[in-house]
Amino acid sequence: MLVNLDASDARPLYLQIMDEVRRALVVGTLKPEDPVPSVRELAAELVVNPRTVLQAYRELEHEGVLYVRRGQGTFVAPDVQPSSGEQRALALGVARRALLEARRNGLGAEELVTMIRELAAHEGEPASPTPVATGGTNA
Partner 1 sequence: MSPIISERAGAGAGADCAVSTHGLTKRYDRDVALDSVDLRVPDCAVYILLGANGAGKSTALKLLMNLEPASGGTARVFGLDAAQHGPEVRAQTGYVPERHDAGYTWMTCGQLLRHASVYYPAWDHAYAARLSDALELKLERKLGRLSKGDTRRVQLTLALAHRPPLLLLDEPTDGLDPVVRKRVLALLAEHLADRPTTVLITTHHVHEVESLADHIGVLRAGRLVAQMARDELQRTVQRYRIELPDGWEAPRDLVVAASRSSRATREVQWTVVGDEREVTDRLTTAGARVRDVSSLPLEEAALALLPVETSR
| Per-residue binder mask for partner 1 (CB under 8 A), 100-129, x = binder | x--xx-------------------------
Residue 10 as a binder of partner 1 (CB under 8 A): the answer is yes
Q: Which residue, 26 or 48, has its beta carbon nearer to partner 1?
A: 48
Q: In angstroms, what is the minimal distance from the CB of 3 to partner 1?
A: 12
Q: In angstroms, what is the minimal distance from the CB of 32 to partner 1?
A: 26
DSSP 37: P
Q: In angstroms, what is the minimal distance from the CB of 120 to partner 1?
A: 27
User: Pick from 77, 11, 75, 125: which is nearest to 85 by CA?
Assistant: 77
> 88 φ, ψ to 5°?
-65, -45
Residue 97 as a binder of partner 1 (CB under 8 A): the answer is no
Q: How far apart are alpha carbons 139 and 13 in whole angstroms?
A: 26
Give the interface segment with partner 1, choosing from 4-12, 21-29, 85-93, 112-120 (CB under 8 A). 4-12
Helix (H, G, I), strand (E, B) or coil at 124: coil
H or E element, residue 58: helix 50-62
Helix (H, G, I), strand (E, B) or coil at 108: coil
Residue 139 as a binder of partner 1 (CB under 8 A): the answer is no
Q: Which of residues 17-76 bind partner 1 (CB under 8 A)?
A: 39-40, 43-52
Q: How far apart are alpha carbons 53 and 58 in whole angstroms?
A: 8
User: Pick from 105, 117, 14, 9: which is nearest to 59 by CA?
Assistant: 14
Residue 87 as a binder of partner 1 (CB under 8 A): the answer is no
Binding-site ranges for partner 1 (CB under 8 A): 5, 7-8, 10-13, 39-40, 43-52, 100, 103-104
